[in-house]
Amino acid sequence: MNRKTSILLLILLFIFLVGFRSLANRIFYDPFLTYFDHDYLSEPIPKYNSLKLFFHLFLRFLINTIASIGIIWLTFKDQNLIRFSIKFYGVAFLCLSFAYFVILNGELKDGYLFVFYVRRFLIHPLLLIVLLPAFYYKHGKLSI
């Protein structure tokens, strides 16, 4: 794949992530969307369907992961980084989703911000923002 094609695909993947982010709130089940936008400090947690919420979180995370791994591949073209990324994303999903549901089922004595930020890592491609500079630091060069 030549340099122009790689750059075009990178741009398209970033545009996809932005577009997906703007449409995801309408497509996926998320009872906490309006909750965290408004009076989450004074209102109780809304009722939610745990299985449906987990499934939709998984789908959002999976779509963001696939696009993120595509970006990492196009940027570095290193199979070892891709293998590591897949493992990292898998472990991150297991840990974050477990923590998310444990915290939601708890009493939330320490506040709502921790739940808010764990949810953010699950539904947004924030791990890509962490991995790209880390891989650049390790790899030392881009392969675009």
pLDDT at 34: 77
In this predicted structure, the answer to whether residue 40 has a pLDDT above a threshold of 70 is: no
Res. 109 pLDDT band, cuts 50 70 90: low
Is the model more confident about 81 or about 106? 81
Q: Give CB contacts under 8 A, 24+ apart, made by 9-14.
A: 9/70, 9/74, 10/71, 10/74, 10/75, 10/144, 13/67, 13/70, 13/71, 13/74, 14/71
In this predicted structure, the answer to whether residue 39 has a pLDDT above a threshold of 80 is: no
Percent of the chain at pLDDT > 90 equals 62
The mean pLDDT of the chain is 89
**3-state SS assignment for residue 135:** helix
CA dihedral 132, 137, 138, 140 (to 10 degrees): 100
Are 32 and 108 in contact, with CB atoms under 8 Å apart? no
In this predicted structure, the answer to whether residue 20 has a pLDDT above a threshold of 80 is: yes
